[in-house]
Amino acid sequence: MSASRPILYSFRRCPYAMRARLALDVSGVAVEHREILLKDKPQAMLEASPKGTVPVLVLADGRVLEESLDVMNWALQQNDPEGWLDQDPRTASWIAANDGPFKRALDRYKYAGRFDDADETVEREKAAECLRALDRVLCDQTWLAGDKPGLADNAIFPFVRQFAMTDRVWFDAQTWPALILWLDQLLNSERFTNIMEKHEIWTPGAK
């Protein structure tokens, strides 16, 4: 691989890494993909980003982007062929709600055993309330961005996927048909298939 390519440290199932890969895919920016194990993080990644979370994008000039939204915005600033940055004015608030209260409730629902004070049913309902708000928007338009998927859709959907897959039978039984259709369209897209391609775990010296 060319040494001039940015280096992406990623973990396939991490929703933060997923949304970074989605933006890189639409932008067409070529990267050196380094798949890692979160339980065995490579030293090269930790030297670039000591906080030890993915995604991490090391640019050719040595700059390091270690937040998924920063990676998305950087990629789209290089090339935005589908107009993801032509945002609905509500995009920032939707992403903030996803990354804040929804993500907190999602973690406490999916991993309730890790939290002494978490009630799985209560946390599921907190997360569901956030999703009902999205469903109300999607009843009026196919995508959060309007007539085509955009930044909001792709920044949020990996987390909705994680919530849905925790109990897909329960999820599909809820009265949010527009949200289910939205999620399934994104899950079945060629882009999602592309970014979920499996990679061998990277080791130093690997080509």
Domains with residue ranges and CATH for the chain: 7-83 (3.40.30.10), 91-189 (1.20.1050.10)
Alpha helices by DSSP H, listed for the chain, are 15-27, 43-48, 68-78, 91-97, 103-110, 120-138, 151-166, 168-172, 177-187, 190-195
pLDDT single digits (tens) 96-136: 999 999 999 999 999 999 999 999 999 999 999 999 999 99
Confidence label for 1 from pLDDT (cuts 50, 70 and 90):
very low
Q: Is pTM beyond 0.85 here?
A: yes
The rounded distance, in Å, linking the Cα atoms of 23 and 17 is 10
Euclidean distance between CA atoms 19 and 71, whole angstroms: 9
pLDDT at residue 127, as a whole number: 98
Tell me the pLDDT tens digit for each residue of 23-78: 999 999 999 999 999 999 999 999 999 999 999 999 999 999 999 999 999 999 99
> Which strands form 56-58's sheet, in the order they lie side by side?
32-35, 7-10, 56-58, 64-65
